[in-house]
Chain A
């Protein structure tokens, strides 16, 4: 079955550490996205990529980094520069034409 997979589901990070969240899709979608969701709030765009080896900053890119070396993969690194990283992170993918997104099941990151 085609889908988008995020791992791990839960992640704990010590202050000052970098962590990488995985996102893999087998939908043959060109575009991939990372969103952050805080309690009681909507989705905020961190980074997006429309094509391999290219990505753009979203609305809240500071403290995050991404790579897009393969069409299927779009990992997100939460760096120590992100001052408030505890949140629910959602990865999504879509075709580049006007279309809805398919979302992964999310990774909940907690700083301890």
Chain B
């Protein structure tokens, strides 16, 4: 069936360290992936996206890696800051049909000083 899942529900890191948040997806027909950040009591915010014809995409302090062979997606945050503390969701879009995002359960990132 359709599913996007995350390996770790909670990730604790020290300020300044790099963070890696992982996500597994099950549908090989997915062709677009997005990472969202959700702070407490707020709506999710777009962080970075990647299309299935790419393996890596970099933004400001964030990098998304896509491994289609094992259907795995990761978000790397460099020099993690206290403001990065939030829940991170990965989402996939299936090719064909309407623009439907399938969300994973989320990983909570806790950054400690």
Q: Which residues of chain A have a CB within 8 Å of any CB of chain B?
A: 6, 31, 40-43, 45, 48, 50, 90, 92, 94-106, 108
Contact = CB atoms under 8 A, between A and B. Distances in A.
Among A90, A95, A98, the most chain B Cβ lie within 10 Å of the Cβ of A98
14 contacts: A6-B43, A31-B98, A41-B106, A42-B89, A42-B104, A43-B44, A90-B43, A98-B31, A98-B32, A100-B34, A100-B101, A102-B46, A104-B43, A105-B42
A94 B105 CA distance: 21
Interface of B: 9, 31-32, 34, 36, 41-46, 49, 89, 91, 93, 95, 98-101, 103-106
B46 A100 contact: yes
Nearest to A94: B99
Contacts of B45: 103
Given A41-B105, A100-B49, A102-B46, 19 more contacts: A6-B43, A42-B89, A42-B103, A43-B103, A48-B98, A48-B100, A92-B43, A94-B99, A95-B99, A96-B98, A96-B99, A98-B93, A98-B99, A100-B46, A101-B101, A103-B36, A103-B44, A103-B45, A105-B42
